[in-house]
Structure 1
Amino acid sequence: MQMLLLILTTLIGCLHLFIMGLEIFGKPEAQAKAFNMPFEFVNQANAKTALGNQGIYNGLFGLIILATNFILPVSQSAQNSFMMLLMLFVFGVGLYGGFTATKKIFLMQCVPSAIALLLIYLV
């Protein structure tokens, strides 16, 4: 069970790094499609700045998840507790994004984080 949790949370961390790359370095066409936004909007300077800022948050969050899994020398109990906080954050942000941006966010963020929370609870 712990190995499944490690794999899932690592994938969630990598997903956030991928989202960061798309938000910061992605072409406006790809950003418009991924985030269900008009091309004209994501091509504006202010939107690029906002997406870049959001990308930094996603990237750092992904790094924190990966660091929790592989770098921080803590007990399994402490690691699971901290990961629970991180997954609750992903779930909450996913709910907000799913309701306000695109429904795909429910599937991409809420479902994996909910499964991770369940696994943490079962461990």
Structure 2
Amino acid sequence: MTIFTLILAGLVGLEHLGIMGLEMFAGPKTQAKALDMRLNFVKLPNAQIALANQGIYNGALGLLIISSLFFFSGSPLAAVLRLLMLFVMIVATYGGFTATKKIFMIQLLPATIVFILLWL
């Protein structure tokens, strides 16, 4: 496992913290544009609750990825990162098919690259 792979894994973690910020704290216009949703939908109270809830999950995932870089090393780190990247890949695949296709590039591709590098 190279330093390059660890940096990419950290960037995937930071990306998920950024997604959390977007889903929990950004204004409806920003959310609608970034998430390819209609503004009138994003403004609905239930949509805001759902986005905030989704943001908590993305934040937890980002925090897990980043904290694993500090709490593990060697084989345990590789195993934890593989599991977390696999989880991102599964969730991003579902999101790409159900929410917006750009999730394939924004979330699935980086996690897949890290996942592959972790096996080399």
Runs of 4+ in 1 over 4 A off after TM superposition: none
Query: What's the offset of the Cα at 1:75?
Result: 3.6
Match of 2:80 in 1: 82
- 1:3 and 1:108 map into 2 onto residues whose CA distance is 22
- 1:19 and 1:106 map into 2 onto residues whose CA distance is 14
Match of 1:99 in 2: 97
Provide the aligned length of Structure 1 versus Structure 2. Answer: 120
SS at match of 1:37: coil
1:97-121 per-residue CA deviation (whole Å, 9 max, x = no partner) reads 1011111100011111111011100
- 2:14 and 2:73 map into 1 onto residues whose CA distance is 23
RMSD over aligned CA atoms reads: 0.8
**Structure 1 residue 120 corresponds to structure 2 residue 118:** yes
Match of 1:109 in 2: 107
Match of 2:33 in 1: 33
Match of 2:15 in 1: 15
Equivalent pairs: percent with the same residue?
Answer: 52
TM-score (norm 2): 0.97
Match of 1:62 in 2: 62
- 2:98 and 2:20 map into 1 onto residues whose CA distance is 19
- 2:61 and 2:103 map into 1 onto residues whose CA distance is 16
**Structure 1 residue 3 corresponds to structure 2 residue 15:** no
Give, as a single letter, the amino acid of the residue that structure 2 aligns with 1:114.
Answer: T
- 1:53 and 1:97 map into 2 onto residues whose CA distance is 15
- 2:4 and 2:73 map into 1 onto residues whose CA distance is 18
Match of 2:43 in 1: 43
Where do 5+ consecutive residues of structure 2 fail to align?
none
TM-score (norm 1): 0.95
Query: What's the offset of the Cα at 1:2?
Result: 1.3
